[in-house]
Every structure is written in structure tokens, then in C-alpha cells.
Structure 1
């Protein structure tokens, strides 16, 4: 896999499709490696005429880890204390902007999921000339009044440090049963296959905790989003227990002219049964550029 130097770190990335086609950068969320964008989904986007680029954010996958900065105190973080955050949301945004520089991509279609949706939104705010179109999936504006979780115990959505391979895979399957799509379910066998691939590639819970803390430092983007003037589609599941659909609705309301697609039965994942619908919406929005 190729690596790109960005913001003084190394980011691992992969591409799908014809490099001559318009570039589309996929940005994922907390703890997700580039594998969180399944091969088949990337191929659907490439078949619609895009050169698809997916990458590992800092501290996950094969990109630079930050273990030397120390751990996050999760209990203090859940209580609203950000003092143990080891880097900021703005660092993740800078990483992504630097990746565009290194890959010599002056203008791209941005697709972000969960925290990645927030990163994509911030890039559209900061550098609109670099964003051909914006797709924000299962994300929010970082306004604490919207997009709240309906989970009784949000801590259940974090990985288990020190888990062996079998326990880590089982925990990942349980997580996606908890936050995934109740109306568009993925078979346990497929969830286990994906979890095993992620574990075998790079199991790094400490990085996930640091990303959770970094995401918590993001400021409310609502007012800034009102100035975004690029074709935008907001995609959200009506059954998302981790980031409530109100987060998606608020994003679509903030961005002038944004289209909102609410998918029945979809939770906080990318269920294969919805891939075509999601890819079609992203591609249709990109053609508006």
C-alpha cells in the first residue's frame, strides 16, 4: 500500500478506478480503517466515473500512531473533560488537507462518514475552492443539541484494550449489532470476516480513544456551514443509534441547497443492501458540480 507524507505524518491510502477520472476522497470515522469503506462500495463509485481514494486517519490502520502522547482518560472524557485529548479535531482536518497536497489533488469530491463527515464539512468551510462536491454520511454539525446517541451506555461502542484476536472480533461483531442497521442487517459471518480483516491489519484501541477525544474538540459548524456553496448531499439512516438522524437533518438545513436522503432501517454503518442507493446519491450530487 502507498503512503503519503502529510502534516508531518504518514498516511496509508488506496485507490480504486481510473486515475484519469475525477478524484473522490473517502474519509471515515472514529476507529475505522480504510477497510471501513468496503471494496465493493468503492468499486460502485469507480464504476460511476470516479477515481476513489480511501485512507487511514492518523492513529488507526497503517498510518502514523501516536502512542508516545499517552492514553485518553475515557471516564473523564465521557464526563465532558477534554484535558486528556492528545490532539485536536483540527489536526485531523489538517492531515486530510495535507493528503490532497501530497497527492497533487487541487479539487476533489469529498465523501465523509461519521467523524469523517465532520472533517469533510470543515474542509468545505475552510477551503471551498478545493471541494467539488460534498457528501456527509451519518454525521452531524457538532452542535451538541443534535445528533445525540440513543445508546443507554455509549461506552459500549468503544473497543476493548488488550483483547486477544477472538475476543476482539467478537466485540466488533457485537458493536455492529448494537449500532448497525436493524432494517438492513448484515450476516454475522460477514461481520466476523470484516472484523478479522481489521484486526489482522492493525488492532489499535488506544488510537481509537485518542480519536474519540479529538472528535470531541470539534466546534459547532452550523453557522459556518451556511456559507458553504458546493453541491451537497446529506445521507443518514433513520435508525442510527450512535449519531441520531437529527444530526443529518441539521447538516442539510445548514448548507444552502443541500439534499437530504434518509434511508429507512439504516443505522451507523454502510449496509450492503444500501450501497447502490448511497453510491447513486453521491454520484448524482457530484454531477451537480
Structure 2
């Protein structure tokens, strides 16, 4: 079942509610995707594996997929996207969920851990970094690969449909890293589906332009009490090691697991180990009494 969720005046998000297929489902799972990415970037196979144990909710961020695209008229910041996740839970009458965040979604889930811990049964974070601190303290960590930064510099260049598809496939090739084989056809099919879902092929640049005020809260992470899993993707060119390890150590109840060969892309070879890691977290977290 899919529906639209009103999260602010003149702002609606497309969301999909996937019913559980197993006999004794646990609390729901909310999937929070990264910057510029619609809900469909969560692979259906992954969603189906999670749905064997949970009701699963995925949604399009503002300016992605079928959600309202109006950044120029109604600018917003990253904290608004975190609030959107809570609004989605409210719309589906979900008091508490296991929340999974990838990339920018990982930052959003960290904000939820700090501001709405009562709404999270557990958290799983991957392909992301720790919230920064206001004073810039902490270890010096590696940033994105220079080749990736160069490609991001071309993000808002005008392109026709075929050129945009070629750019996105190259983007996924770099994000995938070299630890697992890259299948260009797999990611072309993904992006064709994403474009058909949204009805437009122009690149999403709103999230690269939004205000990031409010995320310098890394000093609060040691106080997190919600059980949190950090998954290290050792071949991630956007958040290379030891970013994941630093995030896990920063969290009060963080633990770290590693998926060998994984980069910053959910390709078919990492779906099953990723699902298994998420389910290890979600199915072993006790429900409230």
C-alpha cells in the first residue's frame, strides 16, 4: 500500500507500507535513504527479506521520487528531513520502530536517537559518519574519494535522459567500490525505475544545497541509550574506514559489524548479508513490556 503523507504546509511525501509476510512479525522497520535518493533505492529483495519479520515502511524524501519538489519555493534544512521521518511514523500510527539509515539517512537517524529515542526500538546505521561536534573535536577522518568529489561537481549539469542515465551509472560504479563486482545493467535498471517512479530525469540537487545547521551534536552521541548497530562497508569511497568505527565508538550503545567487500551501494551481492545484519539487530531487541 502506498499513500501520501502531509509533513508541512504544501509538502507531501510519498510512502509505501509493506505488510509482513511472516507469522509473528516484530515491531515495524522504517527505512531512511540517503541524499537525493528516493525510496526505490532500497532494493525490493532487501525489503522482502525484512518483511519476513517486520512491517516495512519506506518513503521518498522531499524533492525525490513522487514527494513534493519545491526547495526553491520552500527551502528547508536537514533537521526538517529528520522531522519528516517522525511524521511518517505518525501517519502510519506507528509508536515505535526499528529505524535504518543509509548515508545522509544515517545522520537523520542519529538526530532521531538524540531527539526522539522513545520512537526507536533500535537503530541501524551504515555508509555514514558520526554527527560533527560544534568545536570540531575528534579524530581526523578520511573524506570522500577525490574521483567521487569530481563527479559530484557535475551533479547539476544539464543532461538529456540518456546522458543522465550514463552519469548515474558512473556514479554508482564509483560508489560501489572495488570490493564486489559492479553490474552496470543492474544499476541502469534501478535508475530507469527511479526515473519512471518520479516522472522526471533531472538530478536532485536540493539536498546538496540545504541548510545543515543543527547537526553539530556529535558530543551528545555517548548519551544514546537506544541499541544501535553500525555496519562498516570497508570499500565505501564516501565514508571510508575508520568512519564507521568512530561512529560506533561515539555511541553509548553502539556495536560494529563489517560486511566484507561492501561499498556505498546496495548491490545484489550484499543484500543478504545486509538484511541479516539488520535483522540480527531488529529481531533481538526486546519489545516494550
Contact 2:176 2:262 in 1 (8 A): yes
**Number of residues of Structure 1 aligned to a counterpart in Structure 2:** 272
Q: Any unmatched runs of 5+ in structure 1? A: 71-85
Contact 2:143 2:239 in 1 (8 A): yes
TM-score with structure 1 length normalisation? 0.87
Moved over 6 A (4+): none
1:166 has 2:165 as partner: no
> Over aligned residue pairs, what C-alpha RMSD do you find?
2.1
1:50 has 2:39 as partner: no
Contact 1:60 1:204 in 2 (8 A): no
Partner of 1:32: 37
Q: Any unmatched runs of 5+ in structure 2? A: none
TM-score with structure 2 length normalisation? 0.87
Contact 2:126 2:230 in 1 (8 A): yes
1:191 has 2:187 as partner: yes
Offset, 1:213: 2.8
C-alpha separation in 2, matches of 1:195 and 1:175: 11
Task: Choose 148-157 or 130-139, whichever is displaced more.
Answer: 148-157
Contact 1:147 1:248 in 2 (8 A): no
C-alpha separation in 1, matches of 2:80 and 2:68: 13
SS in 1 for 2:68: coil
Contact 1:222 1:251 in 2 (8 A): no
1:201-238 C-alpha deviation (Å, 9 max, x unpaired):
223646x3221233744523322111111111101211
C-alpha separation in 2, matches of 1:13 and 1:153: 30
Contact 2:121 2:226 in 1 (8 A): yes
Q: 1:132 to 1:99 in 2, by over 3 A?
A: same
1:141-194 C-alpha deviation (Å, 9 max, x unpaired):
133743621224514036344322111111111111111131222311111111
1:282 has 2:278 as partner: yes
